[in-house]
Amino acid sequence: MAVSMPYPLLFIVFLLFIIADFVNGHPGVKYQLIRRHDLHPKWGLRQLVHSDMIRVGAISRKVRRQVREDRYEPACNNGSREHSSGELPMHSGADYGVGLYLVKLRVGSPAQKVVLIADTGSDLTWSKCRYKCRGARCGRRQRRRVFRADRSSSFRTLPCSSTTCKTDLANLFSLSRCPSPLDPCSYDYRYSDGSATLGVFANETVTFSLANRRKARLHDVLVGCSESARGQSFVAADGVMGLGYSNYSLAVKAAGRFGGKFSYCLVDHLSPKNVSSYLIFGSHKEVNISVVRIRYTELVLGVINPFYAVNVKGISVGSIMLDIPAEVWDLNGVGGAIVDSGTSLTVLTQPAYQPVMAALRQSLLGFKRLDLDIGPLEYCFNSTGFDAATVPRLVLHFVDGARFEPPVKSYVIDAAPGVKCLGFAAAAWPGASVVGNIMQQNHFWEFDLGKSRLGFGTSSCV
């Protein structure tokens, strides 16, 4: 079975483990982005390695094409320019086998392109990077794509003797090692599957395209230059873009420059990489993404840092409000919910998971249940003859009256040809629930940090 495993199933398996630390852990703890090592042994390593190579090839082809298309335009650096918004192309990682959204960022002077995982649950933005070449490896041509910090005139490492390094960045896993005061402040991220990334902190310039086809530069953005990113975790992307709520997050810094907010439109998560949308800093209106009707709910900042929390009142399925204890959603207690671009599946703590699954299963009794053992996906079925219109609609109700009604395909998800699964993962109680990126697909999302509100609306992202 492992040998003939169809691609989409593999894809789903990859993305399942992205949420694993939420399932097992506590909100607020740095979670893992991609844990491919946790794949069920059944799928076999050989196949993984093979698909990794395909994906790496696809990335480098894409990059070469981008370089040719990239013409220089003078940077517009006028901080007072009112209606400008910065945009970064964004697409689904499905082609690379990951259930994440990838965004292209230009870093350094002159700007170099990197492809990063857009993660509202991370504060640090880091990329695979070459800072200094050492010894014999210096002259050797680099096969993997990295950010060449040694070729950027704006790259400034932070000294390890600084307070920033010693105290402020301790949350970001800075190391206390400091052989000489001006040595760069370094970090060490470790993941439970054995992968790790080591690097140095730096201030760097990032460049945004503006809607008016000009460019804007943002200086002194904290970035991580990862000289090693061991493990298979970061094959699809060069690193991570930190969009979380933190003083070190690129989102917070860029939002400060572009009107206090950022937004993204998530295309269908199974879209190929040539179907793209934008991550936008500032007003989305100029970017001209059509959104059916934006609804707003309170964005609760600062309670579960660096995550974006929301006040949920309940979940209904087919207009029936499910019996979920209020404490499950209580941000001041031990529950609560967050909206996260870096988590694929929607994670519900047990007291919410059970009633949601039970209500949805009712409508699927006519389909043959399949015993597939696909990670945390508990309920899968043979979807021959499936019609989404017969599934009762799930609605997430917010305390302030806003309602989020995702399309059925965002919770009855494709797992393989002819196989669909209920797209929820269970998490232990107490803990936070997570609205993952599959649930957010085909919608526009605006994180308005200035007004503490989250806007959302149905959109085809074009």
Ligand X SMILES: *[C@@H]1O[C@H](CO)[C@@H](O)[C@H](O)[C@H]1NC(C)=O
**In terms of DSSP bridges, do strands 147-148 and 125-130 run parallel, antiparallel, or are they unpaired?**
parallel
Q: Contact between 319 and ligand X (CB under 6 A)?
A: no
Alpha helices in 289-332 (DSSP H): none
Cα–Cα distances in angstroms (integers) from residue 123 to residues 71, 315, 399, in the given order: 31, 29, 27
Q: Is 340 among the residues known to form the active site?
A: yes
Chain centre distance of CA 348: 18
Q: Which of residues 100-129 bind ligand X (CB under 6 A)?
A: none
In the stretch 167-196, what mask flags binding to ligand X with x, by CB under 6 A?
Answer: ------------------------------
| One of 163, 180, 274, 332 touching ligand X (CB under 6 A) | 274
Q: Contact between 384 and ligand X (CB under 6 A)?
A: yes
310 SS3 class: strand
Give me 289's structure tokens: 């993404």
Shortest approach of ligand X to residue 374 CB, angstroms? Answer: 12
The DSSP letter of residue 350 is H
Angle CA 426–4–369, to nearest 5: 40
Q: Is 188 among the residues known to form the active site?
A: no
Shortest approach of ligand X to residue 33 CB, angstroms? Answer: 21
| One of 142, 228, 362, 382 touching ligand X (CB under 6 A) | 382
Nearer to ligand X, 142 or 452 (CB): 452
In the stretch 45-74, what mask flags binding to ligand X with x, by CB under 6 A?
Answer: ------------------------------
Could you say which of 123, 193, 238, 340 is catalytic? 340
Total site size for ligand X, rule CB under 6 A: 19
First-to-last CA distance in the chain?
A: 39
- Nearest residue to 233 (alpha-carbon basis) of 414, 34, 429, 367: 34
Q: Following DSSP, what letter does each residue of 192-220 receive, concatenated?
A: TTS-EEEEEEEEEEEEEEETTS-EEEEEE
The piece of 96-104, 108-116, 272-280, 427-435 that touches ligand X (CB under 6 A) is 272-280
In the stretch 283-312, what mask flags binding to ligand X with x, by CB under 6 A?
Answer: -----x----------------x-------
| One of 1, 4, 80, 365 touching ligand X (CB under 6 A) | 80
Sheet holding 320-321, edge to edge: 320-321, 312-317, 394-398, 403-404
Q: Which of residues 233-262 bind ligand X (CB under 6 A)?
A: 245-247
Q: Are 384 and 418 in contact, with CB atoms under 8 Å apart?
A: yes
Q: Contact between 163 and ligand X (CB under 6 A)?
A: no
Shortest approach of ligand X to residue 274 CB, angstroms? Answer: 4
Q: Following DSSP, what letter does each residue of 64-81 receive, concatenated?
A: HHHHHH----PBP--TT-
Q: Which of residues 396-455 bind ligand X (CB under 6 A)?
A: 418-419
Distance CA 408, CA 182 (A): 55
The tokens 């790259």 sit on which residue? 155
Q: Contact between 220 and ligand X (CB under 6 A)?
A: yes
Shortest approach of ligand X to residue 106 CB, angstroms? Answer: 18
Q: Contact between 203 and ligand X (CB under 6 A)?
A: yes
> 45-69 and 7-16 are packed helices; what angle lies between their axes, rounded to 10 degrees?
90
- Active-site positions read 119, 340
Binding site for ligand X (CB under 6 A): 78, 80-81, 156, 158, 203, 220, 245-247, 272, 274-275, 288, 305, 382, 384, 418-419
